[in-house]
């Protein structure tokens, strides 16, 4: 059977490769602020001060604002608020690793979640009071993102993402 398509040449390959490289260079990412996620409020700056004070008291290095972690935290807070469910996994096929990859979070990564607190201070304190969440905040991470979203019934859902 013969093909009706022309045989690809080196010239076609180089032209397509150049076009692909040109298009790949068109995307940009923000280092400081992710695109806001509708329905969420970024609380990273306030939480960062509290978490770094805690880490400093334990002789640990400070964390920094991390755009992908902020994006992942915002997305998770909105997902929980929409589902009105505090859970790391919501829906079939959901995975922590998949969510972190989608937001381009550097690994290793961890996620703390909370529900019902009315302020970032109260959410961070709830995580401090929980041994597993405290261990995450004191872990070998470099970046941080924290967001809150309010459900239709007025409950706050918090997400903290720590990144490598």
128 φ/ψ angles, rounded to the nearest 5 degrees: -65, -40
- CATH number of the domain at 71, please: 3.40.33.10
Does residue 77 belong to any structural domain of this protein?
A: yes
Q: How far is CA 66 from CA 10, 17, 71, 106, 126, in A?
A: 42, 32, 9, 9, 22
76-86 pLDDT, tens digit each: 999 999 988 87
Mean pLDDT for 122-150 is 97
Tell me the three state secondary structure of residue 95: coil
Q: Containing domain of residue 131, as a range?
A: 65-85+107-163
What's this model's pTM, rounded to 2 decimal places? Answer: 0.76
Judged against a pLDDT cut of 60, whether residue 147 lies above it is answered with: yes
Per the structure, the count of domains in the chain is 1
Point out the least confidently predicted range of 11-20, 22-31, 141-150, 155-164. 22-31
Residue 11 forms part of a structural domain: no
Q: Has residue 118 been placed in a domain?
A: yes
Is 148 inside a domain boundary?
A: yes
- Which of 7 and 68 is assigned the larger pLDDT? 68
102 in a structural domain: no
Any domain includes 123: yes
Pairwise CA distance, residues 15 & 20, whole Å: 9
Residue 128 lies in a domain: yes
CA dihedral (99, 103, 107, 109) positive or negative: negative
């Amino acid at each position: 059977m013969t093909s009706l398509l022309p045989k690809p040449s080196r010239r076609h390959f180089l032209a397509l490769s150049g076009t692909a490289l040109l298009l790949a260079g068109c995307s940009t990412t923000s280092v400081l602020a992710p695109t806001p996620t509708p329905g969420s409020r970024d609380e990273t700056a306030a939480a960062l001060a509290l978490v770094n004070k805690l880490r400093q008291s334990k002789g640990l290095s400070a964390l920094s604002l991390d755009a992908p972690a902020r994006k992942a935290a915002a997305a998770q807070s909105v997902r929980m608020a929409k589902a009105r469910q505090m859970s790391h996994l919501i829906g079939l096929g959901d995975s922590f690793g998949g969510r972190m990859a989608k937001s381009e979070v550097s690994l290793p990564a961890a996620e703390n979640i909370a529900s019902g607190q009315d302020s970032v201070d109260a959410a961070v304190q709830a995580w401090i009071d929980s041994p597993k969440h405290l261990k995450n905040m004191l872990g070998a991470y470099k970046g941080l993102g924290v967001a809150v979203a309010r459900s239709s019934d007025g409950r706050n859902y918090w997400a903290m993402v720590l990144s490598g």
